[in-house]
Amino acid sequence: MYSITGKVLEKMTELPIYEAVITIHAINGPSNDIAQLTNKQGVFKWNDLDNGNYEIIIIKETYEQQSMTIKVNDINNHNFKDEIIKEVTILLEKSS
């Protein structure tokens, strides 16, 4: 199985953003949108994902909404105790 883990940071200060809403859904194939909040360190993680492409959307009040596509597969990911992990860092910019 695969996991996506990441950190959401404020673009100018690179400080963690607490309680940003992160949603994920599979681009190719059946998917239920899954949402969670970042913790105090700005960290989020999804486990038990299938190989494929996922879109994540990041929303936090007073910041610009951001989305990104993440490819989860056996290549360019970290392998840790039979779990394959894709790591990302997301920088959010304040709304104008």
| Per-residue pLDDT tens digits for 42-53 | 999 988 888 888
Residue 79 predicted with pLDDT over 70: no
Q: Scanning the structure block, which residue is given the tokens 């239920």?
A: 32
pLDDT digits (tens, 9 = 90+) for 14-56: 999 999 999 998 888 776 778 999 999 999 998 888 888 899 9
**What one-character-per-residue DSSP string does 34-74 give?**
EEEE--TTSEEEEEEEPSEEEEEEEE-TTB--EEEEEEESS
- In the chain the domains, ranked by start, together with CATH numbers, are 2-92 (2.60.40.10)
Quote the tokens at residue 2.
Answer: 């695969």
